[in-house]
Structure 1
C-alpha cells in the first residue's frame, strides 16, 4: 500500500471492476482511468482464485506474477500513488475459493492468499462470494484479514441486491446475520443490481434495501452492468444517470456506484471506458446539489 486512498470511507464512491486488462493485446490502462476521473475511489482488480492445489493462487487464468501481468501491476502501483485504492477481487463466478477458506481448511489455503495481498501491496480485498459459504467461515475470514492487515485495510463484499432486501442470495450465508456481528468491519458492499438480481432503471430496488433498516446507505454501493454483453441489467446511460442523481438527492450519505466491468463501459465503449466513471461522479454531484 503506497498511498492513502481517496477517502474510501466517505459516501459517493466511484468504484470500477477491472478484470479484462487487455484488448487486442494492448493493456487497458488503469492510469488513464485515474487521470481522467478525479472522483475515482477504487479499482478492483480480479479475479483472484484459490485453487485446489495448496499454494496455487491465480489471477484469472494465470499466476499473478505472469509476465503478461507485469505492466498492469506497474500501472496499478502508479494509480495508488495518486491516492486511488487498488483492491483485489476474490472469488466471483469460479467456484471453490471460499469453500477452501472455511475454518477446517483455512490454515492450508489462506497463507498464500495473505502473501499475494502483501506482495502486490493491495489496499483491500473484495469478497465476491458466489458459492455456498457458512456465516462462521465469512466471519473467520474477515477477522483474519483485519488482524493481518490492520484497521486501514479495505474489506468489501459483493452481494447480489436481493440478498440485502430479503430475497435470493448466491453466498449461502445470510448477510443480515453477518452484518449483525461484523458490519463495523465491512467498509462497503458492491451490490450487484444486474444479471437478474436487480436493475437500476429507477431507485426502487435500492430503496427496498435501505427501507429494511439493516444496511445504511453509506455502506451500500450500487453496482451496475456497463455494457449489454455483461448480462441482464444494463441500463442506458441517460436513464442510469437520472437514477444515480435521484439516489444522491434522496440519500445524503449514498454509498456510491460500482461498475462491472471497466474495459468497454458505455457510453464511451472501448475507446473511452473512463466516461462511465466521469458520468457517475457528475450525476452524484448533480443529485447532491438539488
Structure 2
C-alpha cells in the first residue's frame, strides 16, 4: 500500500465510477495528472459491492480483477505516485453490501474478508463508506474498528452521508446516527463526504454548512459534496453560484474541509471531452497556486506519462474520453 502523505484541507475529491465508454473503451484519469492547474488531493474509485456469494465481490458490474480494469488499476498507481491518495467506495445506491456486514461474527467475517483482500491487492489508501441502506451503529463501529486493526493508523476511513443527516437523524439514509458515531469513533474518521444534492442539501449558499459548524461539526471534517454536472442527478449548482459560495466558505472557515464531486467522466464545464476542467476550477478556487502538471511531479512519474523516449521533451496529450451518451457501470451514489 502506498504511504500516506499528509494533505491539509481544503481537499479536492473526485469519485470515479464510470470507467468505460459504452463501446468498452477506457476513460482515462491521466489528464488529472497532466493538465495544468490541477491539485486534486483524493480519487475515490466506485463502487464496490458485496453480493450474496461472498467471493463474488464486484466493482460496479464486474469482479475487480476483470481484465477491463487493468488500465484503471495501472492509472491509480500512477496517481498515487503523483501524490493523489486513492480510496475505494463501498456501497452507494445499490443496496445489500451493508446488510450483509450487519450480521453475526461469522457472517461478517465471510463478507468482510474479500473487501479487505481487495484493498490489499490494489494498494488502496482508504475506504469510503457510502451507506444508503439501514445499518446499525454497532455494525458501523465494528467495521471501522476492523479496518483500523487491519490497515493501521494511516489508512483513510471516510463516510458519505447525505448532508441533512449531519443536522437531523430523521433525514438520513444510513439507519444510524452520525452524531453518535462521531462521538464514539470520530477519531478514526478522516472526514465526511456530505452529499449536498438530490434534495438532501443546497451547495449554492453557505447556510447549511454554517449550521453544521454551529452544531459542532469540525469544518475540516465536512467536505461539501457536489454533482459535477446536471446529468448526474438533481441539485446541480451552476458555477456562477457554486464558485462564489465555495470561495466564501474558504475565507470564512480557515479549516474548511473542501469539496467532492460526483463524478469525473462528464464533469462540467468541459463535459465528456474535457472532464478535468472541473478539477481545474476547484483548484483555482480552493487551492490557488498549487495546481501543477507533469513538470512538477516526481521524475519517474513524468517519464512514465511521457513514454520511454528520453529525448522527447514534449509531454504528449493524455488519452481523452470519447463523446458518448451518459451511462454508468453501476448505480449512482
Question: Same fold by TM-score, threshold 0.5 exceeded?
Answer: yes
Aligned residue in 2 for 1:184: 187
Aligned residue in 2 for 1:199: 202
Are positions 1:29 and 2:28 aligned together?
Answer: yes
For the 8 Å contact 2:160–2:195, the answer to whether it is kept is yes
Aligned residue in 1 for 2:14: 16
Mean CA deviation greater in 50-59 or 170-179: 50-59
Aligned residue in 1 for 2:261: 259
Q: 1:3 & 1:275 partners in 2: Cα distance?
A: 28
Q: 1:72 & 1:124 partners in 2: Cα distance?
A: 17
- How many residues align? The count is 283
Quote how far apart the aligned CAs of 1:25 are.
Answer: 3.3
1:116 aligns with one of 100, 115, 118? 118
Higher strand share: 1
Deviations along 1:156-194, one digit per CA (max 9) or x if unpaired, are: 000000000125000000000100010000001111000
Q: How does 1:28-177 map to 2 (within 5 A)?
A: 28-36=27-35, 38-104=38-104, 105-166=107-168, 168-177=171-180
Quote how far apart the aligned CAs of 1:238 are.
Answer: 2.0
SS in 1 for 2:147: helix
Quote how far apart the aligned CAs of 1:83 are.
Answer: 1.3
Gaps of 5+ in 1: none
Distance 1:120 1:202, change over 3 A: same
Quote how far apart the aligned CAs of 1:11 are.
Answer: 1.1
Quote how far apart the aligned CAs of 1:38 are.
Answer: 3.9
Q: 1:282 & 1:81 partners in 2: Cα distance?
A: 23
RMSD: 1.3
Gaps of 5+ in 2: 289-333
For the 8 Å contact 1:3–1:82, the answer to whether it is kept is no
Q: 1:55 & 1:73 partners in 2: Cα distance?
A: 20
For the 8 Å contact 1:11–1:255, the answer to whether it is kept is yes
Deviations along 1:213-257, one digit per CA (max 9) or x if unpaired, are: 1x2000000000111111111011121111110110110100000
Deviations along 1:116-164, one digit per CA (max 9) or x if unpaired, are: 1100010000000000000000000000000000000010000000000
Q: 1:151 & 1:206 partners in 2: Cα distance?
A: 28
User: Could you tell me the TM-score, scaled by structure 2's length?
Assistant: 0.83
SS in 2 for 1:128: strand
For the 8 Å contact 2:38–2:279, the answer to whether it is kept is no
Instruction: Compare CA radii of gyration and give the structure with the larger one.
Output: 2
Quote how far apart the aligned CAs of 1:2 are.
Answer: 2.6
SS in 2 for 1:126: strand
Aligned residue in 1 for 2:292: none
Distance 1:119 1:285, change over 3 A: closer
Q: 2:56 & 2:27 partners in 1: Cα distance?
A: 26
Q: 1:177 & 1:233 partners in 2: Cα distance?
A: 28
For the 8 Å contact 1:199–1:224, the answer to whether it is kept is no
